[in-house]
Structure 1
């Protein structure tokens, strides 16, 4: 089985070979900028927390000992759904900020 770092190297190599502009842009960013982009937005994180809590059925931990059992496949689907929703929310937030900045320029 390949190590994850080998998979990432293969993936990044394939992107670079294709001349992918997004990958070139990412490569040009400073490490500080990468760290900044890697930090979750607090508003998006709060929405994601509430959404996952609703999906899993949250009970206050101080009163209940909750254990959730699921299959690997179902957990994978939950993770994929959460990731897609997170990207959607992040993009919506970026669009909102862009629209606000354009409105300020008018």
Structure 2
């Protein structure tokens, strides 16, 4: 156990310069920017909802009394899956925005 403790302190104590720069950048952001980055887009929410309904089943609640029973471990896995989907979708949205921006810049350069 002591060896594991030493490894974790080595890992966290000797972080690379790049991760320190990222951490410094995140700390420099104002609360409004952090709130904006933390809020999922409506499109991402819809995709995650469809994914969860696909996993759990999608009977309309106004016509059916549905109860889902699971274990704590499986519920944790479902939450982790939803979170990872959210991170993935956020990154995909950012990439799409960057690509649109670059295409606009390229078309402006070619047009001038």
Same fold by TM (over 0.5)? yes
Question: What secondary structure sits across from 2:91 in the alignment?
Answer: helix
Q: Residue 40 of structure 2 contacts residue 86 of structure 2 at CA under 8 Å; is this kept in 1?
A: no
In the comparison of the two structures, how many residue pairs are matched? 92
What are the equivalent positions in structure 2 for 1:1-106 lying under 5 Å apart?
A: 18=15, 20-106=20-106
Shift of 1:85: 1.4
Partners of 2:73 and 2:48 in 1: CA distance: 21
Partners of 1:34 and 1:89 in 2: CA distance: 17
Name the TM-score, length of structure 1 as normaliser: 0.80
Question: Deviating runs (4+, > 3 A) in structure 1?
Answer: none
Partners of 1:32 and 1:89 in 2: CA distance: 21
Gaps of 5+ in 2: 1-11, 107-112
Shift of 1:31: 1.1
CA deviation string 1:48-97 (max 9, x = no partner): 00110110001111101111000011111111111111111111111011
Gaps of 5+ in 1: 1-13
What is the RMSD computed on CA atoms of the aligned residues? 1.6
Partners of 2:85 and 2:35 in 1: CA distance: 21
Name the TM-score, length of structure 2 as normaliser: 0.76
